[in-house]
Amino acid sequence: MEFSQLKQEYKFLGDILKLYNKLDETVVENDENKEILKLCDNAATFDTNLRDVEKIVCKKLLNNLLQLKNDKYDDDFKKRCNNLYVWLYFEIKKSGISNDIIKQIFDLSELKEKGMIRYFLCPYYTFIDQKHEPEDLMKLSIFNNNADAFQSLLMDSEKSKDCHLKKYVYECVDIYKKMNKNYSSSGDCNTSQHKNACEIIKFFNRLYMSYIFKKEGISDEFPELSSDTPLDLNNMCPLDEIEPDTPSEERQQDTPKTGGVPTALSAMVGIPPFLALIYKFTPVGKFFRFRNRNNMIIASNFDKNMENEIFHAIKEDSNIKDIHPKYNIGYEPI
């Protein structure tokens, strides 16, 4: 999933995604971190020449790491680091930069702090190197970082109507069930490699139960984490209806609305068939046709089209042979 796809599919996230937009801002190199940012352009730094797109990722990540440093390793700092990891997930997918280079960039941030006041820096971590689907961990992490925002959205009488909001929470519950079972049964949580993934899973349990499940003010009922009942996620949100193309207002004004009536016949809508016959066969019709001789080409074409269309319509509604013989008085010979 690309970041643009995330924004399109989960529009309800709104202000939440602005955090990642800020992390993605272009780096200004004329600040206090100018010298260390230059390392991204130096081939000797990574024993290889980075592509231009990789240099951009390097500078953004290095700058973000230095901006997020904190003198306390508290929950607020952890939350900011988790936001960084979500942003980094999309950057890695977009640029194709390797985990080895990413890890070296994390190490570079520590060089800036040597010999200075000790700050805590976000430790190296990416969703990409997990053995399970990285997008699943990323989704759980977004929820964990913004559990209070999800609660507010679900308590809002209007915003809670967005089925994609509810679906996102259901998806997180489904992810939690699968990953909690896999990690717990395999004992992976006892290894340092999967420590962060296990923390995300456990943290989701705590936040979901505190902010969402059976929470007063949330009208929707959400599933229990311990339930074995499968969740049907496919039919939660109906497909968006495709609105048919409608003619512009100007076009509608210029084009007569015939409602399916043939063009020549549309001018005679509502005229009974016997009056149409008068136009064709009686002296009255002949008189009107004579008046049009100054525009002979137009008149003759119009007459021909009208005759064809009139009798096509009459054929469907009646039979000319059914007309009583006495009405033939004054008609022209056929």
pLDDT band with cut points at 50, 70 and 90 for residue 263: very low
Domain containing 284 equals 257-328
Contacts of 254 (CB under 8 A, 6+ apart): none
Same domain, 312 and 284: yes
Least confident of 79-93, 183-197, 201-215: 183-197
User: Is 15 within a domain?
Assistant: yes
pLDDT band with cut points at 50, 70 and 90 for residue 207: very high
User: Is 36 within a domain?
Assistant: yes
Same domain, 5 and 70: yes
Distances (CA, A) of 196 to 100, 127, 269: 18, 9, 76
Round to whole Å and give the CA distance between 227 and 223.
Answer: 7
Total residues found in the chain within this entry: 334
Q: What is the pLDDT of residue 8?
A: 83
Same domain, 82 and 185: no
Q: Helices then strands (H, E): number in the chain?
A: 16, 0
User: Is 301 within a domain?
Assistant: yes
- For the whole model, what pTM was predicted? 0.66
Is residue 119 exposed (0-12), middle (13-18) or buried (19+ Cβ within 10 Å)? middle
Same domain, 141 and 219: yes
Distances (CA, A) of 297 to 276, 282, 292: 21, 22, 9
Say whether pLDDT at 194 is over 50.
Answer: yes
Q: What is the pLDDT of residue 131?
A: 62
Average of per-residue pLDDT values in the chain = 76
Q: What is the pLDDT of residue 151?
A: 96
pLDDT digits (tens, 9 = 90+) for 139-157: 999 999 999 999 999 999 9
**Best-predicted range by mean pLDDT among 116-120, 270-274, 278-282?**
116-120
User: Is 276 within a domain?
Assistant: yes
Same domain, 114 and 156: no
User: Is 19 within a domain?
Assistant: yes
Same domain, 33 and 70: yes
Q: How many domains would you assign to the chain? A: 3
pLDDT digits (tens, 9 = 90+) for 236-249: 887 654 444 444 44
Q: What is the pLDDT of residue 129?
A: 61
Same domain, 137 and 123: no
Average pLDDT over residues 159-184: 91
Round to whole Å and give the CA distance between 210 and 204.
Answer: 10
pLDDT digits (tens, 9 = 90+) for 34-61: 888 999 999 889 988 999 999 999 999 9
